[in-house]
Amino acid sequence: MYRFLREENRTNRNRRTIFSNAILAAVSLFINGFGVYLTIQANIGAGPWDVLNLGISNSFGILYGTASIIVSYSILGIDILMKEPIGIAMFIDAFVVGKSVDLFNYLDLVKPCGSIKTGIPVMLLGLVIMAYTQYTYMAAALGCGPRDTLLVGLVKRLKKVPLGVVSIVLLSAATFVGWLLGGPVGIGTLICAFCTGPIMQLAFNTVHFDAAKIHHQKITESFRTILNK
């Protein structure tokens, strides 16, 4: 996989690199879904967005993945309305992560943890997996996730409000609505909210990856390249 992460493959200048990076993004997001699955199976409260997804799932009797797709594509729609850059991988993200969680639930690979003592390590392992797969996903340079794009879009429009404040408000809103719908809130929710960022940054540092230097290709550019070259 390392050869796909080299600098020359992040430009998506031809069909081959676009297709290989799309596959890289899909595989990364599938494994990312296993990380999400572990944070849920930790059974000490889900991450903010998963509180919402699980709340919708429980309230309407649908699969977690279906709820996740509904939320993700709704956010993607908002991103489009805000005229934020949209990439191919964002559509892959909106579908693959949720459905991979459904698959792991079906396979019943990890039983729900029975205590905080076992739940916290499982949750942290899930966050580490999510962090490294976020690196490989972003290295494909075909777009960030719908939620990250929403955050950036809101920060652009709320210029006097720090990014951290916007992020907290967004996560709090997702958690609150999810809690009202019956989503699981607990110490794990706080761990996800406050540890995801630092764990991701640590993971990026270990592979010398600077997310700010990635130029994500817009979906229009991708299709133009695919059709013309």
Domain ranges of the chain: 2-224
Report yes or no: 45 and 187 within 8 Å, Cβ to Cβ: yes
pLDDT value at residue 212: 78
pLDDT value at residue 62: 97
Question: Is the predicted pLDDT of residue 163 greater than 90, yes or no?
Answer: no
Helix (H), strand (E) at residue 187: helix 187-206
| DSSP type of residue 216 | P
Report yes or no: 211 and 134 within 8 Å, Cβ to Cβ: no
| pTM for the predicted model, two decimal places | 0.91
pLDDT value at residue 38: 98
pLDDT value at residue 42: 98
Which of 5-14, 41-50, 143-152 is predicted with the least confidence, judged by mean pLDDT?
Answer: 5-14
Write out the two tokens for 182. 């019956």
Indicate the residue type of 208. H
Query: Locate tokens 């809690």: which residue?
Result: 179
For 19-46, give the DSSP string.
Answer: HHHHHHHHHHHHHHHHHHHHHHHT-S--
Q: Select from 78, 94, 98, 84 the least CA-distant residue to 219.
A: 84
